[in-house]
Amino acid sequence: MNIETIVAQAGIGADSEKGSISVPIYHSATFRHIALGVSTGYDYSRTSNPTRKVLEDLAAELEGGCGGYAFASGMAAVTAVLMIFSKGDHLIVSDDLYGGTYRVLDKIFCRYGITASYVDTSNVEEVIAAIQPEVTKAIFIESPTNPLMKITNIREVASVAKSRGILTIVDNTFMTPYLQQPIKLGADIVVHSATKYLGGHNDVLGGIVVGATQELCEKIKFIQNSTGGVLGPQDSWLMIRGIKTLAVRMDRQQDNAFKIAKWLKERPEVKEVYYPGLPGHPGHNIISEQAKGYGAMISFKVKRKEFIERIINGVRIISFAESLGGVESLITYPAKQTHGDIPEEVRNRIGVTDDLLRLSVGIENADDLLKDLEQAMEGGRA
How far is Cα 336 from Cα 322, in angstroms, rounded to an integer? 10
How far is Cα 77 from Cα 70, in angstroms, rounded to an integer? 8
Residue 46 is among the residues annotated as catalytic for this protein: yes
Residue 98 is among the residues annotated as catalytic for this protein: yes
Catalytic residue of the set 53, 89, 95, 98:
98
Residue 347 is among the residues annotated as catalytic for this protein: no
Give the C-alpha distances (Å, rounded to integers) separating 238 from 180, 195, 203, 277, 285: 23, 10, 8, 30, 36
With H, G, I as helix, E, B as strand and everything else as coil, classify residue 134: coil
Whether 284 contacts 276, CB under 8 Å: yes
Question: Which strands sit side by side in the sheet containing 297-302, from one edge to the other?
Answer: 270-274, 297-302, 356-360, 330-332, 319-320
How far is Cα 351 from Cα 340, in angstroms, rounded to an integer? 13
Catalytic residue of the set 171, 188, 235, 372:
171
Whether 231 contacts 78, CB under 8 Å: no
Catalytic residue of the set 196, 244, 347, 358:
196
Q: Give catalytic residues, as residue numbers.
A: 46, 98, 171, 196
